[in-house]
Amino acid sequence: MKNISAMQAKNTKKLNYLLVMPRLVQNVGDGYSFPLGIAYISASLKKAGYNVFTINLNHLNGNVPDLIKNEIKQKQIDVVATGGLSFQYNTVKCVVEAAKGFDNKIITIVGGGIISGDPEPAMEALEYVDYGVIGEGEVSIVELCRVLEQGGEPDGVDGIIFKKNDCYIVTKPRREVEDIDSIPWPDYKGFEIDKYLKTNPPGISGLNRKNIIFMLTSRSCPYNCTFCFHTIGKKYRQRSLDVFFNELDYMVSQYKIDYICLVDELFSSNIHRVKEFCERIKSYKIRWWAQFRVGNDITPELLNNLKDSGCDVMTFGLESADNRILKSMGKHITVEQIENTLKLVHNSGISFEGAFIFGDIEETNETANNTLNWWRAHPEYKINLNLITVYPGSILYKYACKVKIIDDRAKFLKDGCPQINVSKMTDDELSELVKKIMEIPFMLAKTLSSMQIRDVDYETGRLGVSGDCVICMHKSNWENIKLFATNFLSCNNCRQRYNIPLSSELRVNIEDNLLKLIEKYGKVAIWGINYHTSDLFRNSVVLKNENIYPIDISETKRKMNLYGKSIYSPTVLDNKEILAVVVSIPVYFTQIASQIEINHKKVVAVIDICRLIDPEYRP
């Protein structure tokens, strides 16, 4: 890549900037979690007077490189900026590669967690990036663009990384914005929030609704758990509620808003503030979702306030049911506090979500089994079970790099941040644990009474479900459910959770279509092993066919025995000359498809598993 200096970028005219929201969906119309970061960046640049154009690839059909190139040509773009999280590497790279492919003189900028987590390996992996923005980007991007337009040296811009003379230069860290009320509201309009509100974001606490807006009341988190990385600074700061509600008033006046997801890392740091928030939001008659912390602040009085205000879902970072692991993680909570909090919330009637994540540095068979035994003893809470993912920037990541579990940081990013073993468990022990946490949610799950599946859309893999809750007997209906994507359904009355059902008819259709794929391509890979996939393999003879190759980027999962099948790394696609890949985790379809396109060019067919429910499917 050609080095770009500020002097090379010097212009006598104002530059045209294109801010690109990467494609996160498989099909236009699919839901996704709206990334606020780039919307804040757009608003800051526009306020500073820069000539900014925006494009949201999630709302546009067509090939991403072609869309980018057409936009550059039509708008005479000089600078393309985008961003994302570490696991979105391929979709972010696709944007900057397209820009440089159109014209190598285009200046490219990337921000977000993908850069902030570990800047130099990210720049190396992304390859086509001229400037990376580290941490909170609103001030840094404005100063960088001033240098690009007026000349000067980028070395004087805090909070960026760039390449100079074949070396990466990381400038002085950017201080967090103390007064976050001073930051302009996100540029929702620029990224077509009106179209977004018509979609149903997947995987958010069992929600099945549209007209959901994402908002922030604070930035960062006052805690420093070992598995977390705070992408927008280490210092916890809160917006004034006056400013927040001014923004909400504007959004309500402009759009139909039925639901708010408060995506603060921690919403409940100040309980007096939470109570004031409850009092002020009550009159809007809008349901809302937020992240809380277990502990003594969660009282019956607070829960009454939350329920009266429209709080629909409380989500908690639980992580473990063993106090030794909670201490090792830096959680500053205890199992006793978890038990007390969840009991209070459960009795209040407010729905809640939480997860246990296995694989901490101090995790052993004993501590893992303590958590599993606690989980089995409390099926009423339906807590999710997951394996720790070591994300760049976290304490666990730095440890894994130090002891050489991760020895090529750029490759780790390119591979999608695969799950690795940093625990005290052997690989075999951890793999056996992973198999358990994928199996037991289905084995112990409650089933809806009088369940019916209807309105199946074979094109998108969406369907309707109805049934009677076995707890409160309420009959619930759910529309437009995406198979293999949504974690669970919640009873509309008591919020009891149920796994998404897969009827015997749809299972047969999937098996028949897999046989069609084998007949056409000889060998078929199934990419993505989670509890949905495990359930399919457990109940299928066809999936045990010798020509079916399960794939996962997780080294730990690859040591599992999947009902008699080995799990392979993606390299098996080339080694075995596999031409067809079925992506079994639809919410990651775009990322996986991009990874296949870049790294496994002999693959000719990448298929969403949801397409295989269609009895008329033709490969």
Sign of the CA dihedral 486, 492, 497, 502? negative
Provide the β-strand partners of residue 342: none
Beta pairing, strands 605-608 & 580-583: parallel
Q: Residue 463 phi/psi, 5° resolution?
A: -155, 170
pLDDT in tens, 490-524: 787 777 777 777 889 999 999 999 999 999 999 99
CATH H superfamily, domain 16-170? Cobalamin-binding domain (3.40.50.280)
pLDDT in tens, 181-214: 999 999 999 999 999 999 888 655 556 678 999 9
Of the candidates 495, 499, 444, 449, the one whose C-alpha atom is nearest the C-alpha of residue 473 is: 449
Average of per-residue pLDDT across 528-542: 89
Q: What contacts 522, CB < 8 A, 6 or more positions away?
A: 547, 579
Q: What contacts 532, CB < 8 A, 6 or more positions away?
A: 484, 500, 584, 585
pLDDT value, residue 9: 43
pLDDT value, residue 8: 45
| CB half-sphere exposure, 96, CA atoms < 13 A | 25
Task: Tell me the pLDDT of the chain averaged across its residues.
Answer: 92
- Given a cut of 50, whether residue 397 has pLDDT beyond it is yes
Contact call for residues 228 and 331 (beta carbons, < 8 A): no
Could you tell me the two tokens for 186? 């996100």
Please identify which residue in the block is written with the tokens 């976050």: 180
Tell me the fold of 504-613: Rossmann fold (3.40.50)
Provide the β-strand partners of residue 512: none
Q: What residue type is 443 in one-letter code?
A: M
Q: Given phi > 0 = left and psi -120 to 50 = alpha, else beta, which region is 450? A: left
- Given a cut of 90, whether residue 357 has pLDDT beyond it is yes
pTM of the prediction? 0.91
Q: What is the DSSP secondary-structure string of 563-614?
A: TTEE-B-TTHHHHTT--EEEES-GGGHHHHHHHHHHH-TT--EEEEGGGGG-
The set of long-range contacts for 342-349, using a CB threshold of 8 Å and a minimum separation of 24, is 342/294, 342/316, 342/378, 342/381, 344/298, 344/299, 344/300, 344/303, 345/298, 345/303, 345/314, 346/380, 346/381, 348/300, 348/303, 348/304, 348/306, 348/307, 349/307, 349/494, 349/495
pLDDT in tens, 107-139: 999 999 999 999 999 999 999 999 999 999 999
Q: What is the CATH number of domain 200-425?
A: 3.20.20.70
- Given a cut of 90, whether residue 598 has pLDDT beyond it is no
